[in-house]
Amino acid sequence: MMLKLRVKYFFKYSQIGSILLILLLLASHIPLHAQYKAAKHKVKVFYKSGKMKEKGQTRNKKKTGIWNYYSDGGKHERKEKWMDGKMKWAIFYTSRHRKAKTINSFGDTTYFKDCSCAP
Contact between residue 93 and residue 77 where contact means Cβ atoms under 8 Å apart = yes
Measured CA to CA, the distance from residue 100 to residue 110 in angstroms comes to 9
Give me the half-sphere count of Cα atoms (radius 13 Å) on the Cβ side of residue 14: 10
Reduced to 3 states (helix: H, G, I; strand: E, B; else coil), residue 36 is coil
Q: Average pLDDT for residues 39-64, to the nearest whole number?
A: 90
Least Cα distance to 102 among 113, 91, 88, 117 occurs for: 91
| pLDDT at residue number 61 | 86
pLDDT (tens digit, 9 = 90+) per residue, 69-93? 999 888 999 999 999 899 999 999 9
pLDDT level of residue 98 (50, 70, 90 thresholds): confident
| Confidence (pLDDT) at 4 | 45
CATH topology of domain 40-115: Outer Surface Protein A; domain 3 (3.90.930)
CB 87 within 8 A of CB 81: yes
For residue 63, is pLDDT > 80? yes
Beta bridge partners of 70: 76
Strand 109-111 versus strand 76-83 pairing type: unpaired
- In the chain, where does the domain assigned CATH 3.90.930.1 lie? 40-115
How high does pLDDT run on average in the chain?
76
Give the start-end residues of each E strand in 18-107.
Answer: 40-46, 52-59, 62-70, 76-83, 86-93, 99-104
pLDDT at res. 54: 94
- The predicted model gives 2-7 an average pLDDT of 45
pTM score: 0.63
